[in-house]
Homo-oligomer: A and B are copies of this chain.
Amino acid sequence: MPAGPAPAFEQYLELNRERRLESYKALLRIPSVSALPEHASDCRAAAEAIAADLRAIGIEHVEVAETGGHPVVYGDWLHAPGAPTVIVYGHYDVQPVDPLELWESPPFEPIVVGDRLQARGAADDKGQVHLHLRATEALLATSGGLPVNVKFVVEGEEESGSVNLDRWLEANRERLAADLVVISDTGFFDGNRPAITIGLRGLAAVQVNVYGSTIDLHSGSYGGTVQNPANALCAIVARLKGPDGRILVPGFYDDVLPLTEADRAAFAALPFDEEAFRGSIGVPALVGEAGYTTLERRGARPTLDVNGVWGGFQGEGSKTIIPAHAHAKITCRLVPAQDPDRITELLVSYISEIAPPGVRVEIVPQHGGRPSLTPIDHPATKAAARAIEATFGVAPLYIREGGSIPVCASFESILGLPVVLLGFTPPDDHAHAPNESMDLRNYETGIRTVAHLWYELADLPR
């Protein structure tokens, strides 16, 4: 197996540059905003366009599959016997365009501005789906085949919560048998230096409801005789985390994978300006768990945050009551190998235990999500790194994101597959914002990276 695509691959790409850009623009002209019902037919049109594209380049079993919501486009090429099978996941739906008045050009009329193609979806994620199709097209056109088996899954509800995807994955478990998932829907850490996102945090969530009297009580006539639900709620929340930022729920850290020397070195290698970060959000100081850097705390350590708290009188002036009830929404960001169900259980049990007397405390578990990690030394991560070096000419940075991408956890938990997050856009791509754009140099290099990756993955241990 060669270490990369044949010279004809590059020639093909050079010859078709203009046609490629036109095809990219055509896809971007479809206003496939999944969150807005009036764009349902546009979403379907985008799905059909992807399906037609897949068929045209030689992908088989192409189907616009119904999900109950916007359809999933499926297609595969399975003629590399003995080679690994890779699922390429992406999405054809886009974010709404509000506020429209901040766009410098109409969001669904793509234009080239300098090195960039500007339009809603140029980066997130139509552009990155499109570059995958172009890599496959060029490989099939010039080599007559691919070094790996590929299954495309392009959904249409990523920007509105992927609400139907899990069920579709469950229902198509057999058809989706594979070795690996590659997703190009993330970005770089800083500037235009390529990066691989190796970790995402998971989520556990509870709502705490504290009930006292059936009605708000006069704080004069009753103050001193009853537990105040708002004070009780604060007492509970205060006991969840220590002043050193450590979460005090017993067992909370039991399953946390400790940071390795390599992990810490990867964090330390990221170009990160603490003071600029602090200034950008306007806080007086960055704080968090003792013993870890800011990036480590964000990427590799679990958290416990109150997302909302309320109870009693919130208006102007004063109302001297003891509130009848008080509430807090609490989420924990989880890291490998914490289990959201287990963490939720620990939270429920601990909060029940520390609940003060005189009030009834109810703890309602909310929807959670698993953390995700494909380590730096995973063969697939290493393959992606080699593909990046071969095409960008520089080693990638390794990012552990603080947030969650639910679809990663779905692929890991439903299909049991590792996920490689190989995105090609710099942080200034304005994804989800006005004037979204894709750097066309990254788009082009991305096509080459994907092709190289298929070669690098051909001998992935299975």
Contact = CB atoms under 8 A, between A and B. Distances in A.
A228 B328 CA distance: 13
Given A224-B402, A306-B312, A366-B318, A333 B283 contact: no
Given A238-B234, A329-B318, A284 B360 contact: yes
A357 interface: yes
A359 B219 contact: no
A102 interface: no
Nearest to A403: B220
A298 B222 contact: yes
Count this chain's copies in the assembly: 2
A219 B357 contact: no
A321 interface: yes
Given A225-B288, A320-B203, A220 B402 contact: yes
A145 interface: no
Contacts of A326: 306, 309
A192 interface: no
Contact of A282 (B214, B218, B245, B289): B214
A341 B386 CA distance: 70
Interface in A226-244: 226-228, 230-231, 233-241, 243
A281 B213 contact: yes
Contacts of A367: 318
Contacts of A319: 307-308, 329
A285 interface: yes
A219 B319 CA distance: 32
Interface residues of A, number: 84
A357 B307 contact: no
A322 interface: yes
B331 A219 contact: yes
Contacts of A285: 227, 357-358
A212 interface: yes
Interface of A: 201, 203, 205, 212-215, 217-228, 230-231, 233-241, 243, 245, 277, 281-289, 294, 297-298, 301-315, 317-323, 326-329, 331, 333, 356-360, 366-367, 401-404
22 contacts: A205-B320, A212-B283, A214-B281, A214-B282, A222-B298, A223-B333, A224-B288, A224-B298, A227-B285, A230-B305, A231-B237, A231-B238, A231-B304, A233-B234, A234-B234, A234-B237, A234-B309, A284-B359, A307-B312, A307-B321, A308-B321, A310-B310
Given A226-B287, A307-B322, A308-B323, 17 more contacts: A213-B283, A214-B281, A218-B403, A220-B403, A223-B305, A225-B286, A225-B288, A238-B239, A243-B356, A283-B358, A309-B310, A310-B314, A313-B329, A314-B329, A317-B366, A318-B331, A319-B329
